[in-house]
Structure 1
Amino acid sequence: MLGSTQPVAFLAITDVERAQVFYGDVLGLRLISDDPFALVFDLAGVPLRLQKIREFSPHPFTSLGWHVDDATTTIAALRARGVEFERFGFMEQDADGVWTAPGGARVAWFKDPDGNLLSLTQLVAA
């Protein structure tokens, strides 16, 4: 039923200005709209609706992620823009903060200004 309809991604934010700079300038997403309820960015053809709320406790798990061709290059580019990558004591990560999954995918995590956990995944070439 919904398999052929376009999804909408949602995240919560409390600081509109910081979120607009982070998602627009740092991550390079195009702002579609800014209304009293949300900032909306173009996420490769899918609307990313950043809901403007007063208080927020971020989830301890990944809320949104991207597939990238080259994790190392993408991490370096984001670090150059001030993004810090997360380190977790319960998994082995390389110097870039990348964890290699049992299937070979390479994954790294970072947070937005409100603490939403975001990820980059480089899939194994088929």
Structure 2
Amino acid sequence: MYATDNGYHIGPHRMHPAKQCRFEENVDIPFIVRGPNVPRRHITDVATTHADIASTTLRIASAPLGGDFDGLATPLTGKDVHGATEAQQDHVTIEHWGFALNEGKAYDWYLILHYSNMYEAIRVPSDS
């Protein structure tokens, strides 16, 4: 397995330096897996997080998943890849410093800030 950080962008898109924007440089980072029963050259658009790595590793090894895991198994093995949808989960766990905002049609208020939490789920409700 290979995963990386998204780096620290310095002012692209005429914005302040940070990782607080939803541009590709901030949210689309590589996660590459090679192993038994993992299809070659397959790309999935399922949202994942590093908390999913333990569950994914156990799924590839055909080991039982514990009920107390924070993450979900990323669909990588044969039948899982073909049955996967982009809506595997509607939120991911995010660690951040600074502030975060809730957003989506479900919120009728403005600027609900969350300051410097660590691994607190930020939920963005779907429009449906």
The answer to whether TM tops 0.5 is: no
Structure with greater contact order relative to length (CA < 8 Å, sep ≥ 6): 1
Structure with a larger share of its residues in strand: 1
Q: Which has the larger radius of gyration?
A: 2
Report the TM-score when normalising by structure 2: 0.24
